[in-house]
Structure 1
Amino acid sequence: MAAAGLPYPGRMLHLRLLCILGAAVLVAAPTSTAQGRRDATSSEGMVVTISPDASEVGADILARGGNAVDATIATAFALAVTHPSAGNVGGGGFMLVHPSDGSPPVFIDYREKAPLSSTVDMYVDGGSRKSHRFVGVPGTVRGLSLAHEIYGTMEWAELVEPAVKLARDGFVIHANLARSLNLTLLVSHNDEFKRVYGRADGEAWEAGQRLVLTDLGETLARIRDDRTNGFYAGKTAELLSAEMERGGGYVTLEDLARYRARVRTPIQFRYRGHDVLSAPPPSSGGITLAQAMQMLEPFELRKHGRWSPAANHLIIEAMRRAYAERAAHLGDADFVEIDPKLWSAEHARDLAKSIDPEKATPSAEIGPPLTLAKESKETTHLSVMDASGMAVSNTYTLEAGYGSGVVVTGAGFLLNNEMGDFNPEPGVTNDNGRIGTAANLIAPEKRMLSSMTPTIVTKDGKVVLVTGSPGGRTIINTVLCVTLNVLEFEMGIREAVDAARMDHEWFPDRLRLMGADDENEKLAEALRAMGHDVRSSRGQGDANSILVDPAGVLRGAADDEYGAAVALPKK
């Protein structure tokens, strides 16, 4: 499909090495990079992820007859080994599943929870988020297990074993992972992190060397053999509890035993004849996405062209209003009543009435009041489809890069620092982006608000698009940009993923636009003339996506920093 309007400014080539993993018969020859193929199409299934090794794991599961959920579980455990800054067993996330048998889509919420000893003002005095104190109760293992209970077709042990092998035998690291580890080791204050992820000789990592994670392999083996009891009880739980006591953290054996993942109903709305399915609370992603897209639909953006100042001004104003609503109303639906009208088309139209098509609205004029008194970008997203058309959009995280930076002594896995995603100071909302509204204040066993936005678009019951991204609060706007590029501007998936992105979050009252000081300079100047404070951004998210064309062919585009690979299963 060709993009409407002006040609899109391509994203800077130095930002990303792009990868795609396809599982099945290759329909069209993919292009290649030094580290692997950049694009692929498939008639049988596809897994799109940031890590070549983890992608290979998912491809093999599909080749062995596993479905999209089986492949997602195996890939997620493999990412806990090969992508340590965000892949995890010590964090949490969300999985959106669209079955191919006509049954309703399901959203699996395995977001972390606040420990039982949490208090509303426990972080008012601040403190380093790279510490035991900011660890929430992990949800990943429970979430993946619940997904398997509902949809799994292969044995659990078969799905976890590849990750066990990767950890025990080691894997060859690439240049970007070597650089990431070396930088993190320089600033880490955690001795166990240095022991587990540092070289034995104290030298810096180099591409092509093998990283072996023996303790993590043993933890994964316990999960393989005992499912959730291999993490939330027994030796692993005891090691985690001891780590908390040693570092002044709050997660206890009781917290671990009580944790459960939840099945929820996805947020669903219509756009241009398509059904868009996305994340419900405790994620803010689906509602914020619904508000922004439904505000924009009546404006007929395509008539202006994707890179016109008029279209981009309207997109920014929709972002601004949707994020103001996010700050005012959204939190864990188990603790806060979320009004369904928030994602209705009528409410979006009411919000859009205040948009001036000629000039920017100051953020201080909308949203909750400011008072006088940041999510991290280190998350990872994978998109999966199998031969039957079953689709999975999964986003999970440790929060900051490498989470809390704390490795559980003797267990080899990193812990999250998700407690920093709660509103830390009751009543304080300021123009620097700090939110102090009531919906996301800390409470025992409450799930902290997230921006993760795993999204699936369908038409007439068939999957059209599977997408999502890391990027903290930028996630929603990355998904918005990619989804608009496909549904509104009729771009193909490579063009939609590569196109420049932008981000406005209500406060701070500024727009981050990729390439604003070079390839998008003219657009940036036009937006400034309309009253927008435009800053240049060199990158935003990693939108690992799959588009299904009208003939039913899957077209995938990965958008990652860590390597590139197309892995086809050996039939």
Structure 2
Amino acid sequence: MNRLSMQSQTMHSVVLRSCAMRCKAVIAVLLVLFPLALYAEGGRTPLRVENGIVTSASRIASEVGVDVLKNGGNAIDATVATAFALAVTWPTAGNIGGGGFLVYHGEDGHATTFDFREKAPLAATEQMYVGMDGESNNMQHRGFLSVGVPGTVAGMYQAHQKYGKLPWAELVDPAVQLARDGIPITYALYSGFDRNQSFWDQFPSSAAVFRKADGSSYEIGDTWQQPDLARTLERIRDEGRDGFYKGENAKMLADFMAENGGLITEEDLAKYEAVEREPIRGTYRGYDIVSMPPPSSGGVAIVEMLNILEGYDLAAMGHNSADYLHVLTESMRRAFADRAEFLGDPDFNPDMPLTRLTSKEHAASLRASIDMEQASESDESAYAGIYESEETTHFSVVDAEGNMVSLTYTLENSYGSRIVAEGGGYLLNNEMGDFNPVPGVTNRFGQIGTDPNLVAPQKRMLSSMSPTIVAKDGKPVLAIGSPGGRTIINTTMQVILNMIDHDMNVAEAVEAGRIHHQWLPDVTSMEAMRFSPDTLRIYEAKGHETRVRGTQGHAMGIYHDAESGLYHGAADSRAGDGAAVGY
């Protein structure tokens, strides 16, 4: 990204144009010989195509989105089709029973966002998760009281009504067919089903979906059919948003909740609306950052961290050197403290200081407090990061016109609450766990009790989901995002740095090792086998406590190489079924 857009040597441009002509010629021949979509799974070489790309956690879903592009659909159309397909093919996080955020940036310079985050039911109360001992009873994470009012269907419908091109039914129908006809059980699906066997035992409606009719487990290579989900998707296909929020589905879901002590009613569903919001905007080394506003904390935190880091020569420090990791950590520490203190649902917190938090002046004052030789200390009497599951999913889309979408949505935990709506065939979220559970209680383990994110009826819970688009001269050049709970913010930010400061292509940027710090607990998590022992020794000598973790996130990115006219797509190899598909 930086290499291709910032250098201007004549010879370099000539070589690029020559390569572009050869690439286009090769692609043209391939498309004649092999008319199917091209795709690439995770690796350090991006998929390069001429017309459009979808990159997601499921190759099948990516193919559905690309088919829409090939049939004349735009980026929003492909997004809708991909999102519904993921509800069938990637049940760990793809959904119609959850919610999320969409960032759109047109080639014409127009950018907007859609907030379809879940809401607390009308019967929710601030004290509903406070136990007899004054501590959290943990019911915000499990069971029927953990379920927020779903937003995905409303979000997809609103985005389509505003910017879609093809008929709604054409976009939902592929998901109907996948659910009805069945999909093959991959290793990723098999292992996910297997890890959750104890939950299927708790909920008969879930066992009916995730086990065979005779009660046995699905095996790799089996065909998995979801007839109840197919019928729900048919209602959505034929009736639009009302097929989910009113009528048969609304009554089934409300009755199921009432029978099991849940709070969601038909009134909750009828009242739910997605919201189109102005993006959070910032700049970094000549690029425009366009990201999600609250109730996502991602856009504010990313812009705040990039503003701090803009004052350092990161390229000279070297990628993932000890000094580089130090300034990343200190930036993360400060942004997450601000996140916890100030951010929440804007409809309930109209006075959030977003302009100040995303200003260069605020970043300069924070940067001045960073000691290059010594780690700061996080104070548990101040603020911490809330609990968020890492089981989210992200996908990115670009169409032939250059319009881009970055979308992240989730059920919260892997498979959400693990509760399948009786008769509906879809998993329900456990997003109520993203509220602050006990008013006024903040501790070193990561629980916070600050006011902006306390439970209230119809309130949207704070999120770390960070769908982001980077633009140059008013045109989108990079769509990026990731799952990963609180790590999402830092994963997305590091991919952007990898491209702008470290001259990586989008696939290299997605594959590179990542770290995460979130203010409290005061520890830096580092992906295993990604950092040298020498680097870790120098980093820890500055006072940082570290822990080794497995993988962090599944970033999905698309880059528009304006010089060659090609789109580059990358699916993170950390996602087992993921693929970038294009044509």
TM-score, normalised by the number of residues in structure 2: 0.90
Task: State the alpha-carbon separation in 2 of the partners of residues 109 and 25 from structure 1.
Answer: 41
* Stretches of structure 2 lacking an aligned partner (at least 5 in a row): 4-24, 31-37, 132-136
What does 1:499-518 align with in structure 2 at a 5 Å threshold? 499-515=512-528
Cα displacement (A) at 1:369: 5.8
What does 1:110-121 align with in structure 2 at a 5 Å threshold? 110-121=116-127
Task: State the alpha-carbon separation in 2 of the partners of residues 36 and 329 from structure 1.
Answer: 38
- Residue 550 of structure 2 is aligned to residue 538 of structure 1: yes
Residue among 196, 203, 215 paired with 2:216: 203
Cα displacement (A) at 1:26: 4.2
Contact (CA 8 Å) 2:108, 2:475: kept in 1 or not?
no
Cα displacement (A) at 1:2: 9.2
What does 1:219-368 align with in structure 2 at a 5 Å threshold? 219-336=232-349, 337-339=351-353, 340-364=355-379, 368=382
Task: State the alpha-carbon separation in 2 of the partners of residues 31 and 415 from structure 1.
Answer: 31
Task: State the alpha-carbon separation in 1 of the partners of residues 217 and 512 from structure 2.
Answer: 35
Task: State the alpha-carbon separation in 2 of the partners of residues 26 and 240 from structure 1.
Answer: 48
Question: Which residue in the other structure is 2:569 paired with?
Answer: 556
- Residue 434 of structure 2 is aligned to residue 434 of structure 1: no
- For the residue of structure 2 that corresponds to 1:364, the secondary structure is coil
- For the residue of structure 2 that corresponds to 1:547, the secondary structure is strand
Question: Which residue in the other structure is 1:151 paired with?
Answer: 163
- For the residue of structure 1 that corresponds to 2:379, the secondary structure is helix
Cα displacement (A) at 1:307: 2.4
Contact (CA 8 Å) 2:48, 2:567: kept in 1 or not?
yes
Question: Which residue in the other structure is 1:133 paired with?
Answer: 145
Query: For structure 1, which segment, 196-205 or 462-471, has the greater mean C-alpha deviation from structure 2 after superposition?
Result: 196-205
- Residue 89 of structure 2 is aligned to residue 82 of structure 1: yes
Question: Which residue in the other structure is 1:388 paired with?
Answer: 401
Task: State the alpha-carbon separation in 1 of the partners of residues 383 and 63 from structure 2.
Answer: 49
- Amino acid of the structure 1 residue aligned with 2:362: H
Task: State the alpha-carbon separation in 2 of the partners of residues 548 and 252 from structure 1.
Answer: 45
The C-alpha deviation readout for 1:226-253, integer Å capped at 9, x for no partner, is 0011000000001110111111111111
Cα separation, partners in 2 of 1:229 and 1:429, compared to 1, 3 Å: same
Residue among 108, 130, 134 paired with 2:114: 108
Question: Which residue in the other structure is 2:17 paired with?
Answer: none
- Amino acid of the structure 2 residue aligned with 1:266: P
TM-score, normalised by the number of residues in structure 1: 0.91
- Amino acid of the structure 1 residue aligned with 2:180: R
Contact (CA 8 Å) 1:515, 1:521: kept in 2 or not?
no
Cα separation, partners in 2 of 1:477 and 1:568, compared to 1, 3 Å: closer
- For the residue of structure 2 that corresponds to 1:526, the secondary structure is helix
Residue among 488, 492, 499 paired with 2:505: 492
- Amino acid of the structure 2 residue aligned with 1:368: A
Cα separation, partners in 2 of 1:36 and 1:214, compared to 1, 3 Å: farther
Cα separation, partners in 2 of 1:27 and 1:368, compared to 1, 3 Å: farther
- Residue 54 of structure 2 is aligned to residue 62 of structure 1: no
Cα displacement (A) at 1:429: 0.8
Task: State the alpha-carbon separation in 2 of the partners of residues 480 and 355 from structure 1.
Answer: 19
Contact (CA 8 Å) 2:513, 2:531: kept in 1 or not?
no
- Amino acid of the structure 2 residue aligned with 1:318: S
Cα separation, partners in 2 of 1:539 and 1:251, compared to 1, 3 Å: same
Task: State the alpha-carbon separation in 2 of the partners of residues 296 and 563 from structure 1.
Answer: 34
- Amino acid of the structure 1 residue aligned with 2:489: I
Cα displacement (A) at 1:201: 2.8
Task: State the alpha-carbon separation in 1 of the partners of residues 176 and 476 from structure 2.
Answer: 33
Contact (CA 8 Å) 2:96, 2:150: kept in 1 or not?
yes
Question: Which residue in the other structure is 1:21 paired with?
Answer: none
What does 1:407-446 align with in structure 2 at a 5 Å threshold? 407-446=420-459
- For the residue of structure 2 that corresponds to 1:384, the secondary structure is strand
Contact (CA 8 Å) 1:179, 1:205: kept in 2 or not?
no
Question: Which residue in the other structure is 2:472 paired with?
Answer: 459
For the aligned residue pairs, the C-alpha RMSD in angstroms reads 2.1
- Amino acid of the structure 2 residue aligned with 1:314: V
Task: State the alpha-carbon separation in 2 of the partners of residues 369 and 402 from structure 1.
Answer: 29
Instruction: Show structure 1 runs of 4+ deviating over 3 A.
Output: 24-33, 35-39, 564-569
- Amino acid of the structure 1 residue aligned with 2:122: L
* Stretches of structure 1 lacking an aligned partner (at least 5 in a row): 4-23
- For the residue of structure 2 that corresponds to 1:299, the secondary structure is coil
